[in-house]
Chain A
Amino acid sequence: MSDYSNANDNQPSDAELEETFKLLQAALATLPSPGEQPESAPQSVVEGARWVHDWLNLDAELARLTHDSSISDSLASVRSTSALRHITFSGGNFEIEIEIEPVERGVSMTGTVTPSTSGTVQAVVGGISHQGPIDDLGTFLIDNVNHGVVMAFISTDSGTIRLGSFEV
């Protein structure tokens, strides 16, 4: 941290310092009240940042995106009348299909794991974690997910599978 005693030896000119002072004055003037510190990122955002590292370093097989209807439809110039988007991941001897549907706030994601197996699914978007069960038929539902980049993994009796990140 910078303090009185450890300022840079290469001093800028007085004019440059006054320019910096005016910039700081304007910035501090945007704060809600005099003397108030700038708003820090919410704790959930901090945890989201930590999650990125945990997610990437999971002891898990990676399931790669093998199909995305939003891309294939676009390439084929197909004008879809459905708001549904289908994506598929393959990896770890499993295939995971996810149907993404817009809802009032964000999207819902209905998934199927094949071959069917029970377990849990966890997805994080913008620091908000969504968790839920995968039933015996291999299906799961994650509802009210905000738009953003999804980082998810599924856990089954046979191990953990990390899905490649995708945007909803």
Chain B
Amino acid sequence: MADTRSLQDKPDTTLPVVTKEQLPIQLLDAALDGDREAWDMIVAEYNNLLWWIARSHRLDDATSADVVQTVWLQLVQHGRSIRDPERLAAWLATTARREARRRVAASNRQVPTADSDDEPARNFVGPEERVIDNEVTAAALAAFHRLGPTCQQLMMLLCEVPPKSYAEISAILDIPTGSIGPSRQRCLASLRAELRGLGF
């Protein structure tokens, strides 16, 4: 009988910090030439995006994980044919959507089997499981995740319901009240640019 274990048992599980300036064309070329560190940087940058897109299709954890791994496999196999490597994020997002939809279609064709006793059928999740429920939302979260920490903090506070006043936000972030409006617009512009970079 084979042992089953998560790959996280392996050492060296931290991902390197990557700067946007290094992405993506040089890293992709290096990774496809066998550079593991370059590959790790690409994974660090885009793995959550792929995960969120897979989850946005209401796939269970195991299937979502396989979608992500399959997209990475497709990248190492077909990465050199990507016409515009600067659009790597959009290519990954599109490939993930296509793969996730294929899995959804496949699961719809399968005859359901009896649920096991110790785990509910995760394919049929309800709102209580708070899954990300569509691709645009997944992309928005991915784009948000790519903002700097200051923008993330500010936008989190601005998006709260009920909304916080500028005075409260000023006190929390220790920034002048007058800078909040312009900062909000700049952060939103950055977010919009990130979304466009992801193909949305």
Residues of A within 8 A of B (CB): 1-4, 6-8, 11-12, 14, 16-17, 20-21, 23-32, 34-35, 37-54, 56-57, 104-105, 121, 124-133, 140-144, 146-149, 151, 165
**Is the CB–CB distance between A131 and B69 below 8 Å?**
no
**Is the CB–CB distance between A45 and B68 below 8 Å?**
yes
**A119 CB to closest chain B CB, in angstroms?**
13
Residue among A42, A46, A143, A144 with the highest chain B CB neighbour number at 10 A: A46
CB < 8 Å neighbour of B136 from A12, A23, A43, A126: A23
20 A–B contacts from the bound complex (CB under 8 Å):
A1-B146, A3-B190, A7-B187, A8-B189, A11-B189, A14-B185, A17-B192, A26-B140, A38-B132, A39-B55, A43-B6, A43-B8, A46-B47, A47-B7, A52-B73, A105-B116, A124-B69, A127-B69, A129-B9, A131-B4
**Is the CB–CB distance between B47 and A121 below 8 Å?**
no
Residues of B within 8 A of A11 (CB): 185, 189
Residues of A within 8 A of B130 (CB): 30-32
Residues of B within 8 A of A42 (CB): 61, 65
**Is the CB–CB distance between B150 and A4 below 8 Å?**
yes
Q: How far is the CA of A124 from the CA of B69 in the complex (A)?
A: 10
Residues of A within 8 A of B192 (CB): 12, 16-17, 20
**Is the CB–CB distance between A146 and B13 below 8 Å?**
no
Q: How far is the CA of A143 from the CA of B55 in the complex (A)?
A: 26
Size category of the B interface is: 35 or more
Closest to B194 in A: A2
Closest to B200 in A: A23
CB < 8 Å neighbour of B65 from A21, A24, A104, A126: A126
Q: How far is the CA of A42 from the CA of B4 in the complex (A)?
A: 17
**A165 CB to closest chain B CB, in angstroms?**
6
Residues of A within 8 A of B6 (CB): 43-44, 47, 127-129
**B164 CB to closest chain A CB, in angstroms?**
10
**B195 CB to closest chain A CB, in angstroms?**
7
Closest to B51 in A: A41
Q: How far is the CA of A105 from the CA of B1 in the complex (A)?
A: 16
Given contacts A43-B8, A149-B73, contact A24 B155 (CB under 8 A): yes
Q: How far is the CA of A30 from the CA of B127 in the complex (A)?
A: 10
Q: Which of B132-148 contact A (CB under 8 A)?
A: 132-133, 136-137, 140-142, 144-148
Residues of A within 8 A of B185 (CB): 11, 14, 17
**Is the CB–CB distance between A50 and B43 below 8 Å?**
yes
Query: Does B91 sit at the interface, judged by CB under 8 A?
Result: no
Q: How far is the CA of A146 from the CA of B66 in the complex (A)?
A: 9
